[in-house]
Structure 1
Amino acid sequence: MTRTVYLNGDWVDETEARVSIFDRGFLFADAIYEVTAVVGGKLVDYAGHAARLKRSLAALDIPMPVSEEALLTLHREIVARNALSDGGVYLQISRGAEDRDFLYSDALRPTFVMFTQARAVLDNPKWKTGIFVVTMPEGRWVNRQIKTVQLLYSSLAKMEAKRQGADDVLFTEDGVITEAGSSNAHIVTKDGTLVTRALSNALLHGITRASILDLARAAQIRVEERGFTVDEAKNAAEVFLTSASAFVMPVVAIDGQPVGNGKPGPLTARIRDLYIEDRLANAI
Structure 2
Amino acid sequence: MTRTVYVNGDYLPETEAKVSIFDRAFLMADGVYEVTSVLGGKLIDFEGHAKRLQRSLDELDMPSPCTMDELLEIHRELVKINEIDEGMVYLQVTRGAPDDRDFVFPDPELVKPTLVLFTQNKPGLADNPVAKKGIKVISIEDVRWGRRDIKTVQLLYPSMGKMMAKKAGADDAWMVEDGFVTEGTSNNAYFIKGNKIVTRALSNDILHGITRAAVLRFAKESQMEVEERNFTIEEAQQADEAFITSASTFVMPVVEIDGVSLGGGVPGPRAARLREIYLEESRKVAV
After TM superposition, the score normalised by the length of structure 2 is: 0.97
Once the two structures are superposed, the pairs formed by residues 205-244 of structure 1 within 5 Å of their partners are: 205-244=208-247
Shift of 1:157: 1.1
1:258 to 258, 261, 264: 261
1:272 to 263, 271, 275: 275
Shift of 1:160: 1.2
**Separation of aligned partners in 2, 1:106 and 1:209:** 36
- Corresponding residue for 2:142? 138
Shift of 1:106: 2.1
**Separation of aligned partners in 2, 1:261 and 1:228:** 22
Find the residue that maps to 2:263 and give its secondary structure. coil
Once the two structures are superposed, the pairs formed by residues 97-108 of structure 1 within 5 Å of their partners are: 97-98=97-98, 99-107=100-108, 108=111
Once the two structures are superposed, the pairs formed by residues 81-96 of structure 1 within 5 Å of their partners are: 81-96=81-96
CA RMSD of aligned residues (A): 0.7
1:16-49 Cα shifts (integer Å, max 9, x gaps): 0000000000000000000000001000011100
Matched length: 283
Contact 1:235–1:260 under 8 Å retained in 2? no
1:67-115 Cα shifts (integer Å, max 9, x gaps): 1211111111110011111000000000001211111222221010000
Find the residue that maps to 1:84 and give its secondary structure. coil
**Separation of aligned partners in 1, 2:230 and 2:130:** 26
Shift of 1:261: 1.7
**Separation of aligned partners in 1, 2:116 and 2:92:** 5
The runs of at least 4 consecutive aligned structure 1 residues that moved more than 2 Å come to: none
Shift of 1:175: 1.0
**Separation of aligned partners in 1, 2:274 and 2:86:** 21
Contact 1:199–1:205 under 8 Å retained in 2? yes
1:124-145 Cα shifts (integer Å, max 9, x gaps): 1110110011000001110000
Residue 239 of structure 2 aligns with an amino acid whose one-letter code is A
Unaligned runs of 5+ in 2: none
Shift of 1:122: 1.0
Residue 219 of structure 1 aligns with an amino acid whose one-letter code is S
**Separation of aligned partners in 2, 1:30 and 1:251:** 33
Unaligned runs of 5+ in 1: none
- Corresponding residue for 2:15? 15
Find the residue that maps to 1:261 and give its secondary structure. helix
Shift of 1:224: 0.6
Find the residue that maps to 1:103 and give its secondary structure. coil
1:63 aligns to 2:67 (yes or no): no
Find the residue that maps to 2:216 and give its secondary structure. helix
- Corresponding residue for 1:195? 198
